[in-house]
A and B are shown apart, each in its own frame.
Chain A
Amino acid sequence: MNARDLAAWVRYAAELVSADAERLTRLDAAIGDGDHGLNLDRGFRAAVDALPDGAPPGKVLIAAGRAIVSKTGGASGPLYGTVLRRAGKALGDADDVDAAALGAALKAALDGVQELGKAVEGDKTMVDALAPAVAAFAAALADGTGLAGCVRAAADAAAEGADATVPMRARKGRASYLGERSEGHMDPGASSTALLLRALAEVAGEG
């Protein structure tokens, strides 16, 4: 993947978030503060506007992440901003991103989110989608799968991870105040994380 592919990912992710904003907000209204889709839509629109021309892939993601931090408004601003900025930093100044580099960037993004939010798997957060995605990517890579296949495996694992948050009891964020009443709802952050990885899989599949 090159800088154009990564910019295409940010644009496609913004489209998917926008199309799904109402659903994400509805999920958030059940256990959160009911603004996830709206916030993320605003953040990703800003990210698309901030995409630089002629910059390497890493810088594309860092610029998008910065815009998300400053425009998103909720907890998803710092968290998704961290995802993009840490991934961007991991990619460095290279012009081409191979499967190993992309896998390392996803892992750096997960580490950044966990450092910032202190969530672990099972807390009913975006980590429940991102961590299995990182693991599935690494496993596919170890099997000799190409980049598109690795991202597809990561996207599938993220979607399964998001589904698996439904019965969980939240241990982070507003939902954690609800105790057992947070059970039976999908975590909106896990759901939007799955969406972003699906966007990445589509873009990688076309390349």
Chain B
Amino acid sequence: MVGIVIISHSRTLAEGVAEMARALGVGKAVVEPAGGDLEGGLGTSIDLVETALAAADGGDGVVLLADLGSSVLTAKMLIEDADRDDVLLADAPLVEGAVAAASMAATGADLATVHAAAESARDHRKAG
């Protein structure tokens, strides 16, 4: 199954998004949070993201969702460093993208399909 990593500046935000995504991934989706810095404060830690990536990686690829700023830069840098084509950053809003990715991953879909599902969340309007 394709794994999902939630990268946020906040430990509690990452955990909360992961909780929601797992629930909507009907308890099957593998969603690992990587939030905050190493001391639990606000920030981004590439070490925490690497740990979460390893935990989410079941061999079928991993989709990364990031909140903003340094989370996005850290995700991109990690992908470049790992030199892997089975780890993809989704260009998507964090909560909606995570829920979409987890829902699709739970069906057993492949990496490209889960990634596309996450990115499709960008176009879901909430008003108007």
* Interface residue tally on B, bucketed by range: 10 to 19
Are the CB atoms of B43 and A75 closer together than 8 Å? no
Q: Which residues of A contact B45 (CB under 8 A)?
A: 70, 73
A116 contacts B76, CB within 8 Å?
A: yes
Chain B residue contacts of A181, Cβ below 8 A = none
B residues less than 8 Å from A81 (CB atoms):
77
CB distance from B28 to the nearest CB of A (A): 32
| B44 and A79 contact, CB distance less than 8 A | no
Task: Flag whether A52 is at the interface (Cβ < 8 A).
Answer: no
User: Please, how many angstroms separate the alpha-carbon atoms of A75 and B70 in the complex?
Assistant: 4
Any chain B CB within 8 A of the CB of A77?
A: yes
Report the minimal beta-carbon distance from A191 to chain B, rounded to whole angstroms: 18
- Interface residues in A47-74 by Cβ distance below 8 A to B read 69-70, 73-74
The count of chain A contact residues (Cβ–Cβ below 8 Å) is 16
Please give, as numbers and ranges, the residues of chain A lying within 8 Å of B19 by CB-CB distance: none
B46 proximal to A (CB < 8 A): yes
In the bound complex, residues from chain B placing their C-beta under 8 Å from that of A77 are: 44, 46, 70, 73-74
Q: Which of A102-158 contact B (CB under 8 A)?
A: 116-117
Interface string of B67-82 (1 = CB under 8 A from A): 0011001101100000
- Decide yes or no whether A192 CB sits under 8 A from chain B: no
What separation, in Å, do the CA atoms of A76 and B44 have in the docked complex?
11
Q: Is the CB–CB distance between A73 and B43 below 8 Å?
A: yes
A113 to B45, CA, bound (A): 19
Please report which residues of chain B, range 7-65, place their CB below 8 angstroms from some CB of chain A when the two chains form the complex: 37, 43-47
Residues of B within 8 A of A76 (CB): 70
Least CB distance from A6 to B in Å reads: 22
Q: Which of B74-128 contact A (CB under 8 A)?
A: 74, 76-77
Q: Is the CB of B70 within 8 A of A73?
A: yes
Q: Do the beta carbons of B77 and A78 come within 8 Å of each other?
A: yes
B44, A173: Cβ atoms under 8 Å? no
Residue picked from A39, A69, A117, most chain B C-beta under 10 Å: A69
The chain B residue with its CB closest to the CB of A77 is B70
Pick the residue among A74, A117, A174 that contacts B44 (CB under 8 A): A74
Contact A82 B69 (CB under 8 A): no
Please measure, in the bound complex, the distance between the C-alpha atom of A69 and the C-alpha atom of B45, giving whole angstroms: 8
Q: A70-B47, A74-B69, A116-B76 given. 18 additional CB < 8 A pairs?
A: A39-B43, A69-B77, A70-B45, A70-B46, A73-B37, A73-B43, A73-B70, A74-B43, A75-B69, A75-B70, A76-B70, A77-B44, A77-B74, A78-B70, A78-B73, A78-B76, A81-B77, A117-B73
Instruction: Show 22 A/B contacts (Cβ-Cβ < 8 Å), sorted by A.
Output: A39-B43, A69-B46, A69-B77, A70-B45, A70-B46, A70-B47, A73-B44, A73-B45, A74-B44, A74-B69, A75-B70, A75-B73, A77-B74, A78-B70, A78-B74, A78-B76, A78-B77, A79-B73, A81-B77, A82-B77, A116-B77, A173-B69
Interface positions of B (Cβ within 8 A of A):
37, 43-47, 69-70, 73-74, 76-77
